[in-house]
Amino acid sequence: DTGVSQDPRHKITKRGQNVTFRCDPISEHNRLYWYRQTLGQGPEFLTYFQNEAQLEKSRLLSDRFSAERPKGSFSTLEIQRTEQGDSAMYLCASSLGLAASEQYFGPGTRLTVT
């Protein structure tokens, strides 16, 4: 399978716990995005990387959210001290090139905070 993969697919956690999600982009894709999507809404931008450099981070993100892409390949998104409002689908997407190009989305990680 050469698509974008995400792990885990589902995560249930208690409020206050930390969670970490992983995204493996399509090989050779230099750009990687993280989005959050709630029911009935469009994907909401969280952050994106060009290779290993984090170029943009949404102001909507509090300091509880952090993302890394240490070697320009896979990426992790960590949420510290989870809150019920963090419950959502977390989508990863990757794209190739320096200019605007299509984004390939992974299946997402569904987070439920109880």
Q: What DSSP assignment string belongs to 24-92?
A: E--TT--EEEEEEE-TTS--EEEEEEETTEEEEE-TT--TTEEEE-TTSS-EEEEE-S--GGG-EEEEE
Q: Is 63 in the site for other proteins (CB under 8 A)?
A: no
Sole binder of other proteins in the list 19, 21, 23, 48 (CB under 8 A): 48
Residues 12-31 that bind other proteins (CB under 8 A): 31
Q: Which is nearer to other proteins, 80 or 110 (CB)?
A: 110
Sole binder of other proteins in the list 106, 109, 111, 113 (CB under 8 A): 106
Give min distance, CB of 105 to other proteins, in A: 4
Q: Is 94 in the site for other proteins (CB under 8 A)?
A: no
CA distance 17 to 82: 6
